[in-house]
C-alpha cells in the first residue's frame, strides 16, 4: 500500500505497482497484477496500466501468495467449525476477492455445505462460526432472532471519546451516494444498537490521541460498529471509508501506519447450535493490531 506524494507526479500506474512489487520482493509483473484484479486506486479496482493516479490517492496491491491463506481452527465438532478470519479475504466470494474467500477456503479443507453464522468485512479479523449441519443452521437462525448471540469486538479509534461507556442507538440505512456503504439515518434505515466501552485511552503528545474500545453490537446491521463509531466522532483507525485516520503518530514522532480497519471480532458466546451447552470462542489479536497497541502503550 502506498499513498502517493509529489515524488510520484507523472508516474503511471504500472510504474508505481512495479515499485511496490519490487519493494515486497514479489516476482510478479505489474501488468500481471493489474490483469488479475489485484490493484486498487483508493477503493476502485484499477484496469489500465497507463492510468495516472494523483497525489493523495492510495495504491494497494494484493500479493499473490501461491495459494489461499491458512485458516486458524479455534474449535470444531460435528455441528460447527469456529475459525479465526485473517485480514484481506472476504467472508464469502465477491467481486473484490477473485482468489478465494473464507467460506471457499474452509469448504476446500473441511468439505462443502458450510454456512456462515455471520460475516466479517474483508479487512476485519476475528471469530467466525461455520455451521456444518441443517439442524445447527435452524437453531442458529432462532438464536439470532432471539438476540442470544453475543459478540465482542475491539477497535482502535481516534480521537478518543470523552465518555467511558455509551450506547450508540442510531438507525442505519443505505448511504446516499455509495451503494457499498451504510449511513446513520440513511435510506431504508432500520434500528441498530451498539454498546461501547473505552478500555484504555492512549493520549499522544500535542494532539488528541486514540483509544482502545470494546464494542458489543446488540443488533447485526452491515458495517454497524464502523458506522456508529464514525457518526459518534470516533472513527476506527484505518477505516478510510468512514473517515478513520490512515496513520497514528506517537509522542516521539514515530508514524504508525494503519493500512486496514483496526477492528477485531475478539469473542463470541451463544447457546451451542448443536443443542447442548454453550459455545464460547475467542480469537487472538492479529499481529498488526497487537503491534500498534503495544507501540502506543510503550510511550504512554
DSSP 224-279: HHHHHHHHTT-PBTT-GGGT--SEEE-TTS-EEE--S--EEEEEEEEE-TTSSSEE
The C-alpha atoms of residue 242 and residue 236 are separated, in whole angstroms, by 8
Specify the pairing of strand 125-131 against strand 44-45. unpaired
Under 8 Å between Cβ of 82 and 140: no
The C-alpha atoms of residue 222 and residue 164 are separated, in whole angstroms, by 25
Under 8 Å between Cβ of 20 and 259: no
213, exposed or middle or buried, with CB in 10 Å at 0-12, 13-18, 19+?
buried
How many other C-beta atoms lie within 10 A of the C-beta of residue 177?
Answer: 7
- Catalytic residue, candidates 8, 97, 121, 288: 121
Catalytic: 121? Answer: yes
The C-alpha atoms of residue 83 and residue 128 are separated, in whole angstroms, by 5
Nearest residue to 218 via CA among 170, 184, 266, 250: 170
Q: How many residues does the chain have?
A: 300
Q: Which residues are catalytic?
A: 121
Amino acid at each position: 500500500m502506498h499513498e502517493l506524494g509529489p515524488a510520484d507526479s507523472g508516474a503511471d500506474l504500472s510504474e508505481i505497482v512495479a515499485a511496490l512489487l519490487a519493494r515486497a520482493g514479489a516476482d510478479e509483473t505489474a501488468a500481471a497484477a493489474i490483469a488479475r484484479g489485484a490493484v486498487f486506486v483508493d477503493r476502485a479496482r484499477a484496469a489500465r496500466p497507463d492510468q495516472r493516479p494523483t497525489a493523495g490517492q492510495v495504491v494497494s496491491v494484493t500479493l499473490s501468495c501461491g495459494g489461499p491463506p491458512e485458516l486458524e481452527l479455534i474449535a470444531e465438532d460435528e455441528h460447527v467449525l469456529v475459525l479465526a478470519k485473517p485480514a484481506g479475504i472476504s467472508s464469502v466470494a465477491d467481486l473484490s476477492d477473485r482468489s478465494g474467500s473464507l467460506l471457499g477456503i474452509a469448504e476446500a479443507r473441511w468439505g462443502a455445505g458450510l454456512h456462515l453464522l455471520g460475516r466479517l468485512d474483508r479487512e476485519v479479523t476475528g471469530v467466525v462460526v461455520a455451521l456444518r449441519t441443517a439442524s445447527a443452521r435452524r437453531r442458529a437462525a432462532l438464536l439470532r432472532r432471539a438476540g442470544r448471540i453475543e459478540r465482542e469486538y475491539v477497535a482502535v479509534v481516534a480521537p478518543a471519546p470523552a465518555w467511558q461507556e455509551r450506547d450508540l442507538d442510531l438507525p442505519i440505512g443505505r448511504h446516499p451516494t455509495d451503494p457499498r456503504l451504510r449511513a446513520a439515518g440513511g435510506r431504508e434505515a432500520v434500528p441498530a444498537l451498539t454498546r461501547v466501552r473505552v478500555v484504555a485511552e492512549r493520549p499522544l503528545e500535542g494532539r488528541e490521541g486514540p483509544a482502545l474500545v470494546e464494542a458489543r453490537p446488540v443488533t447485526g446491521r452491515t458495517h454497524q460498529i464502523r458506522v456508529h463509531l464514525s457518526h459518534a466522532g470516533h472513527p476506527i483507525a484505518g477505516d478510510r471509508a468512514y473517515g478513520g485516520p490512515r496513520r497514528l503518530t506517537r509522542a516521539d514522532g514515530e508514524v504508525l501506519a494503519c493500512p486496514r480497519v483496526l477492528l477485531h471480532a475478539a469473542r463470541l458466546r451463544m447457546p451451542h447450535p448443536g443443542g447442548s451447552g454453550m459455545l464460547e470462542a475467542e480469537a487472538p489479536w492479529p499481529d498488526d493490531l497487537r503491534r500498534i497497541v503495544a507501540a502506543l502503550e510503550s510511550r504512554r
